[in-house]
A = this chain, B = another copy of it.
Amino acid sequence: MEDKNRFQEKIAAIQDTMYVIGGKWKIPIVLSIYSGNKRFNDISNSIPKITNRVLSKELKHLEDNLMITRKVVDDYPVRIEYAVTEYCLSIQSVANTMEEWGRNHKKRLQK
User: A22-B22, A23-B18 are known contacts. Are A48 and B11 too (CB-CB below 8 A)?
Assistant: yes
Residues on the B chain within 8 Å of A97, using CB: 93-94, 97
Cα A106 to Cα B31 in complex, Å, equals: 22
Residues in A1-59 with C-beta less than 8 Å from chain B:
4, 7-8, 10-18, 20, 22-24, 27-28, 31-32, 35, 46-48
Give the number of chain A interface residues (Cβ < 8 Å). 41
User: A4-B46, A7-B31 are known contacts. Are A14 and B106 too (CB-CB below 8 A)?
Assistant: no
> Does A91 have its Cβ within 8 Å of any Cβ on chain B?
yes
- Whose C-beta in chain B lies nearest to the C-beta of A108? B87
Residues of A within 8 A of B (CB): 4, 7-8, 10-18, 20, 22-24, 27-28, 31-32, 35, 46-48, 87, 90-91, 93-95, 97-106, 108
Q: Beyond the given A11-B32, A94-B98, please list 14 additional residue pairs across the A-B interface where CB-CB is below 8 A.
A: A7-B31, A10-B31, A11-B31, A13-B100, A14-B28, A16-B105, A16-B106, A17-B101, A17-B102, A18-B22, A20-B105, A91-B101, A93-B101, A94-B101
